[in-house]
């Protein structure tokens, strides 16, 4: 049985977690291939048995049912794991809206505590920045919740650097969750330098490019009903074909390292900065083992330079989000 025994610290004074965490969203939400509750719980138990200690969910996943799965799976070993969840996205007339008013945050935290079967949330992210609620007001509410013992640490998801600085000035931010991978490198421009300066961890979601960097998605791929990738421009046939150069690069390096493309993609993230903790998700045990195996892959400076040179020559085709969803990020 493959296990992960490498750990990292979230932020300057945050909790110690496994170097690779588990993104729980896809267990029962956003993708066509999901698991029933019992199978999802079994997979989470398998992750814990293999050394994973960092689990990521959100009240909006399901909605609400993802937290219930995580809570039921991890309640018996609560003191051995770090659970992150999120507030700030609600539903109105069937559509998602940002809402981080103080009273809404308090309502959300009580719901999450109940569904997660816990007395305290380890890491509580604002899921998306609410342009109608000043971030200082959000940070102040979080500060009160920390004093009340409802949460231990807090973070932001897909926030811009100015928002991060303003939030951090009121209540120190432990982690920022944002998309970051070999095919989405924009965080390198402003976000990662800012986090390094402030002592904040980066938790990349979609570190495998929503499955693309595994090398298992061809240009002819189709996705089932309800799969989020159906509306993502990067996953249309033309862009999938154009982006195969990146998979070819990963495959070449993987062969040299006796690894898989997915493992190279995750290992590359780990080698970027010591404060990066990716959270790949999966519904399959063999993929879970593959993902955690990435922590054992060694990339030397020559490997990293070779990947960098090759990356610089590859132009990634297609936007990562539809325009409406992209507008919610980087505020």
Q: Spell out the domain ranges in the chain.
A: 7-209+262-297
**Angle of CA points 225, 229, 235, to nearest 5°:** 125
CATH assignment of 7-209+262-297?
3.20.20.100
Going by C-alpha positions, the residue among 203, 183, 187, 165 that lies closest to residue 57 is: 203
pLDDT, residue 74, reads 98
d(CA 268, CA 327): 28
Catalytic residue among 31, 61, 153, 321: 61
Q: Of 266, 239, 256, 249, which is closest to residue 311 (Cα–Cα)?
A: 249
Q: Name the one residue in this structure whose structure tokens are 């003191």.
A: 79
**% of the chain residues with pLDDT over 90:** 77
For residues 293 and 13, give the distance between their C-alpha atoms in angstroms, rounded to a whole number: 27
Indicate whether 276 pLDDT > 90: yes
Query: Does the pLDDT value for residue 47 go beyond 80?
Result: yes
The alpha carbon of residue 197 and the mean position of all alpha carbons in its chain are separated, in whole angstroms, by 21
* Mean pLDDT of the residues in the chain: 94
d(CA 52, CA 6): 10
Q: What torsion do the CA atoms of 197, 202, 147, 138 make, to the nearest 10 degrees?
A: 90
pLDDT per residue as tens digits for the range 62-111: 999 999 999 999 999 999 999 999 999 998 888 899 999 999 999 999 99
Task: Kindly report, residue by residue over 200-220, the tens digit of the pLDDT.
Answer: 999 999 999 988 898 888 777
| Confidence (pTM) | 0.95
Total number of residues shown for the chain: 331
- Give kind and range of the element (H or E) at residue 45: helix 37-49
Confidence of residue 231 (pLDDT cuts 50, 70, 90): confident
180 is an active site residue: no
- Could you report the per-residue pLDDT of 278-315, keeping only the tens digit for each? 999 999 999 999 999 999 999 999 999 989 988 888 88
Indicate the pLDDT class of residue 222, thresholds 50, 70 and 90: confident
């Amino acid at each position: 049985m493959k296990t992960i025994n490498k750990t990292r610290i979230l932020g300057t004074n945050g909790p110690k977690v496994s170097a690779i965490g588990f993104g729980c969203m896809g267990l029962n939400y956003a993708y066509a291939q999901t698991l029933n509750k019992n199978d999802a719980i079994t997979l989470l138990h398998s992750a814990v048995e293999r050394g994973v200690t960092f689990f990521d969910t959100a009240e909006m996943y399901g909605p609400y049912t993802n937290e219930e799965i995580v809570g039921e799976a991890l309640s018996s070993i609560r003191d051995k794991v770090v659970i992150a969840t999120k507030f700030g996205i609600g539903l109105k007339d069937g559509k998602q809206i940002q809402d981080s008013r103080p009273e809404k945050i308090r309502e959300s935290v009580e719901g999450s505590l109940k569904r997660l079967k816990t007395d305290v949330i380890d890491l509580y992210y604002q899921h998306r920045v609410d342009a109608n609620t000043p971030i200082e007001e959000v940070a102040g509410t979080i500060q009160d919740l920390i004093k009340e013992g409802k949460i231990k640490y807090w973070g932001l998801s897909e926030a811009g650097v100015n928002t991060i600085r303003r939030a951090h000035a009121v209540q120190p931010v432990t982690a920022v969750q944002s998309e970051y991978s070999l095919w989405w490198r924009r965080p390198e421009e402003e976000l990662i330098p800012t986090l390094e300066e402030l002592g904040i961890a980066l938790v990349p979601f979609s570190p495998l490019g929503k499955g693309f960097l595994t090398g298992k998605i061809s240009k002819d791929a189709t996705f089932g009903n309800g799969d989020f990738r159906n509306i993502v421009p990067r996953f249309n046939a033309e862009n999938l074909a154009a982006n195969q150069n990146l998979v070819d690069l990963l495959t070449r390096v993987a062969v040299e390292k006796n690894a898989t493309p997915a493992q190279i993609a995750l290992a590359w993230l780990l080698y970027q900065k010591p404060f990066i903790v990716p959270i790949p998700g999966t519904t399959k045990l063999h993929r879970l083992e593959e993902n955690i195996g990435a922590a054992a892959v060694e990339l030397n400076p020559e490997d990293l330079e070779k990947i960098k040179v090759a990356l610089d020559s590859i132009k990634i085709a297609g936007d990562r989000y539809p325009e409406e969803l992209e507008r919610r990020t980087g505020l």
